[in-house]
Structure 1
């Protein structure tokens, strides 16, 4: 009870904003290299054996890595109910595409080796490519739309309202800036996947991954810088029009919000956040350079640093906004108006403090057990290999 009183409502809101960012970064760091490897599969493996090597670098761990995606969705549902309601209802067709692509991944892993036919296996390899490439792209597109503002409104009873049918809404999400953000995401995760293959695979698979990753890393850096300039000088920001009590009610319509100015103003208010984009640029650029030089483990660490920086840049630049509204700025969702109750956030924090270390410890143990490179000899000696 004492701890509950010490952790004020505004403190818990910020803690859960940070935890949401941690979970999203966890998705990109863990499940991200799975997506990157799958997207690289048709290009790093010229023979069936080479493609099996690539698949078996992620085969034992992809299911555990996907837990981060589930945790992220669960955290949004429990800690930020309005965000869950607005985003999942407005993006449901895009999310359906992501889920359909993700479903191809377990099916591809399980069905690919059921028949020795080359055409059969090739079709499943391309299915795995879709299962990795489509989510990597769509996740970036979603972030790009969040930065611009999403065309939703709220009624007086806080019911989200979208204009247009599902197809028009999906096409609206595929705007130039959002697609550029999608390129950042896809290129970044391809680089991450290439670093993983360079670290984990042997032979020609690792060599081709290094060649592709060294280029995709440069693409990711260039697209990230271009998106940053576009965001700073071409896309209006959002801000509160009045003083914000951080422990106020969770009602997006409670205080007026406006659209105008530049997102770059966040760096004048909080200059220390410039560390995030610098980390993103240097991390991915360093991963590209190390891959070009033939490295593996250090490239993977650098790509992790870059991903941390890129995702942190988005959150820190937008703070306190989480999902702005482009058609009704006053309905925008922020850290201060879209959270669950004080009691709910506290109980969830206690559960997180207990169970998250267990998840991390188990994950570390799994990677320790599965340590080592995957090559042709491993495939021949391991009866459980895909």
Structure 2
């Protein structure tokens, strides 16, 4: 009998590649060798790979092909901390498969997506389906402060004239069942740190002090009393959430000298980050009144709201998901922020990934079957993209 032919160099097992990546404990901002695995795998497939390091963050841009259109996949190798390691049923970085489920930090968010798209791209290239280019934009700074990752790579690529036509981001977008939702946009996000500095004193002699607590409460009440909006086409209403209040004080008979608060607004296109920051300042000025102390508001805009308008690209992705699941996904803008907020400066972007229920949790886990189905979805996206 003739011997079996060796497996193709282009064949990649998405589950095994995911396990290899999980075994690299790349807790943000550490890399731990995860980026090298992605780079070596893509280089072996014929991709031209460029490490783009900013600060201490490892980033990678890899491209197969020189002609357009250029379909890009974006993702991140960094993961959030394990938390209580003793609460895990398995070592968070052992990447064990138990009863068909892969357990490990990054299994959902989002090393599996990187592996699945890599496997799909390898098969598409070998099959001659790619009439153009496929690229990867991988960062190690998505779960961290996100200052030296995708945003810097996007700026550098734009300055160089690198053209990306469309992008798929591998965030875990499915809500309840695999493929039930993809993200076509995201709300913006703004944080505000509020510090009210007063004058410490004895509670029995308030005229000798300036209590910052009532001033802070007055400011927060004014901010929370405003109804930001009723929503926006394709978006849910904006919401303001107070995330921290403190007035460091261990005594019962002392008026504190300072009070602090922190808040976040997730906003739709009815607003811009700058408009909301200006509103904070106006309300702080009103709350100041005749207060003898000082109010300082420091705003930080994490990202603006954006939407990839429905059209050929969104239809193509939705059809690819339906090819595998049998039902079209919901096109949603819900959830938190992602690096798509930076990539949209280059091209239309859509996010497609696994069910996100266990991301950032103890025993983060992904069914092996769903990782393989995600590979099938990505394969259909690639095939449909270069057919059109």
Would you say same fold, with TM above 0.5?
no
Structure with the higher fraction of residues in helix conformation? 1
Where on the TM-score scale, by shorter chain, does this alignment land: which range?
under 0.3
Higher strand residue share: 2
**If the length of structure 2 is used for normalisation, what is the TM-score?**
0.28
